[in-house]
Amino acid sequence: MKLYTYFRSSAAYRVRIALNLKGLDYEAVPVHLLKDGGEQLSASYRKINPSALVPALQDERGTLTQSMAILEYLEETHPDVPLMPPDPLGRARVRELCQIVACDIHPLNNLRVLRYLVHTFGISEEAKTEWYRHWVSDGLAALEAHLARDPGAADFCHGETPTLADCFLVPQVFNAQRFNIDLAPYPNVARINANCTQLPAFAHAHPSQQPDAE
């Protein structure tokens, strides 16, 4: 398998964690999001992903994009290390947590969005940081409230082993920490993140451990 990735991309980080948890070998193909105006915008990369975003995963069946779709696909095609609970309600909970990160937090703080705010609206660096922190704090509060009310949350987002939800949580917490967001108001998030980051599968997926890390 080939993973088109960028070391600091939160969505690529999710897929790297899942691949590691499942013990799947892959070739990392770096796509530099900042160099030459963004390699993801090139005609050659758009042939791989017309959305001009990372990650993309290629295997013998085809090319897949969108981290959630890729993770569900890996779960279906490599079920040996399950990253989803066996019951429909449990799976719904896991997907709910994934989507809180994927839909309600991350899209607002994506590179292309921050660029629009700066280049088109002309907002200051300070206002940009405030925007970033606002959506992360808001989203982590939602994640915390969902985790706090659910008896399924334990050492990990759902139960005693990692699921897809943890693959989403950890990269989002990494982003929050880059922006100095205090995790104290989110004790469930902080505990689960600490449990995850001790595992080699998560540690090896960390941005700093990637071949294209700067």
How far is Cα 131 from Cα 18, in angstroms, rounded to an integer? 29
Nearer to a copy of itself, 112 or 178 (CB): 112
92 binds a copy of itself (CB under 8 A): yes
Considering only 118, 131, 155, 161, the residue that binds a copy of itself (CB under 8 A) is 131
How many Cα atoms occupy the beta-carbon half-sphere of 121 within 13 Å? 12
User: Which of 133-158 are b and which e, b meaning 16 or more Cβ less than 10 Å from the residue's Cβ?
Assistant: eebbbebbebbbebbeeeebbbebbb
Q: Is 26 one of the binding residues for a copy of itself (CB under 8 A)?
A: no
| Least gap, CB of 116 to a copy of itself (angstroms) | 7
Residue 155 in the binding site for a copy of itself (CB under 8 A): no
Candidate segments 26-34, 138-146, 194-202, 206-214, binder of a copy of itself by CB under 8 A: 138-146
Which one of 29, 142, 154, 203 is in contact with a copy of itself (CB under 8 A)? 142
- Please state, in angstroms and rounded to a whole number, the distance separating the CA atoms of residues 79 and 91: 14
Interface with a copy of itself, residue 50, by CB under 8 A: yes
Q: How far is CA 212 from CA 30, 31, 57, 76, in A?
A: 6, 9, 17, 29
* DSSP-derived secondary structure letter, 159: B
Residue 64 is a binding residue for a copy of itself (CB under 8 A): yes
User: Between residues 113 and 203, which has the closer beta carbon with respect to a copy of itself?
Assistant: 113
Tell whether residue 190 is a contact of a copy of itself (CB under 8 A): no
Among 146, 154, 183, 190, binds a copy of itself (CB under 8 A): 146
Torsion over CA of 9, 12, 16 and 22, rounded to 10 degrees?
Answer: 150
Question: Which residue's CB is nearer to a copy of itself, number 170 or number 199?
Answer: 170
Question: According to CB under 8 A, which one of 115, 116, 187, 204 is a site residue for a copy of itself?
Answer: 116
Residue 95 in contact with a copy of itself, rule: CB under 8 A:
yes
Alpha-helix runs per DSSP H in 78-199? 88-99, 111-119, 125-149, 164-178, 187-197
Segment holding 121, helix H or strand E: none
Number of residues that bind a copy of itself (CB under 8 A): 48
Cα-to-chain-centroid distance, residue 142: 17
Contact between 43 and a copy of itself per CB under 8 A: no
What does the CA dihedral 171, 173, 143, 196 come to, rounded to 10 degrees? 70
Binding site for a copy of itself (CB under 8 A): 46, 50-53, 61-62, 64-70, 72-73, 76-77, 88-89, 91-93, 95-96, 98-100, 102-104, 106-108, 113, 116-117, 120-121, 123, 127, 130-131, 134, 142, 145-146, 149
